[in-house]
């Protein structure tokens, strides 16, 4: 079934974290991968071009050949998840996790032939689209700065990774409207249950 790439699926705050979050319930037996069908890469790229337009400086993402792009994107996704999930505890980087991410990013950047990292347009000239794997690599590398990586969090409800850009760095949920409310509803339900048990005691 085709994935509906809703705004909630872009709660990561950075393209690379939205990509890591395409594995749902990572580490759980109910886990599933929204990129199982490589055709989803192009649909993700189209939605991310809109929802991540600010980060991308308006440059659109392109997937010319999904079968060729998939292994590159998935390699960055898995190594980025490993590194940044670990870094979320105190912002430091495990070199055994950093090296594989850098290798995966090198492959994502290879052959691009463009320029990135300009202060005003980090992802390059928006006149032409950028390959998804190249953009994901640029996004991952941008999170290595101490300022950014110190803001990486794990959602207390769904375990997605997200960038906490709040001033006091106090965000707990990837998306308050979804995960925050789900947790509130659970707490409310448990309170009612324990009140009921009390009544019957």
Which residues make up the interface to Zn ion (CB under 5 A)?
Answer: 155, 157-158, 160, 174, 179
Q: What's the min distance (Å) between Cβ of 127 and Zn ion? A: 36
- CB-wise, 101 or 179, nearer to Zn ion? 179
Residue 17: closest CA among 80, 69, 60, 97: 80
SS3 152: strand
Q: What's the min distance (Å) between Cβ of 166 and Zn ion? A: 15
- CB-wise, 84 or 160, nearer to Zn ion? 160
Q: What's the min distance (Å) between Cβ of 164 and Zn ion? A: 12
- CB-wise, 89 or 95, nearer to Zn ion? 89
Q: What's the min distance (Å) between Cβ of 100 and Zn ion? A: 26
- CB-wise, 48 or 104, nearer to Zn ion? 48
Residue pair 101/76 in contact by the 8 Å Cβ criterion: yes
* Structure tokens belonging to residue 68: 């060729």
* Structure tokens belonging to residue 10: 């872009």
Q: What's the min distance (Å) between Cβ of 185 and Zn ion? A: 14
Q: How distant, in Å, are the alpha carbons of 3, 36, 98, 173 from that of 178?
A: 18, 24, 31, 8
Burial 41-65 (b: 16+ CB within 10 A, else e): bbbbbebbbebbeebbbebbbbbee
- CB-wise, 72 or 151, nearer to Zn ion? 151
Q: How far apart are CA 130 and CA 154, in angstroms?
A: 28
């Amino acid at each position: 079934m085709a994935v509906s790439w809703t705004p909630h699926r872009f709660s990561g705050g950075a393209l690379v974290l939205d990509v890591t979050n395409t594995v749902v319930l990572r580490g759980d037996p109910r886990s599933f991968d929204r990129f199982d069908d490589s055709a989803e890469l192009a649909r993700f790229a189209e939605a991310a071009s809109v929802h991540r337009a600010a980060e991308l400086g308006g440059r659109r993402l392109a997937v010319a050949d999904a079968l060729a792009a998939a292994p590159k994107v998935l390699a960055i996704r898995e190594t980025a998840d490993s590194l940044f999930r670990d870094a979320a505890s105190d912002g430091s980087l495990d070199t055994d996790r950093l090296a594989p991410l850098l290798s995966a990013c090198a492959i994502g950047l290879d052959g691009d032939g463009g320029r990135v990292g300009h202060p005003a347009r980090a992802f390059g000239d928006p006149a032409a689209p950028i390959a998804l794997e190249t953009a994901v690599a640029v996004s991952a590398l941008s999170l290595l700065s101490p300022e950014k990586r110190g803001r990486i969090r794990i959602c207390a409800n769904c375990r997605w990774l997200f960038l906490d850009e709040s001033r006091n760095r106090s965000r707990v949920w990837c998306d308050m409207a979804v995960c925050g409310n789900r947790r509130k509803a659970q707490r409310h339900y448990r309170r009612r249950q324990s009140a009921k048990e009390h009544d019957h005691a």
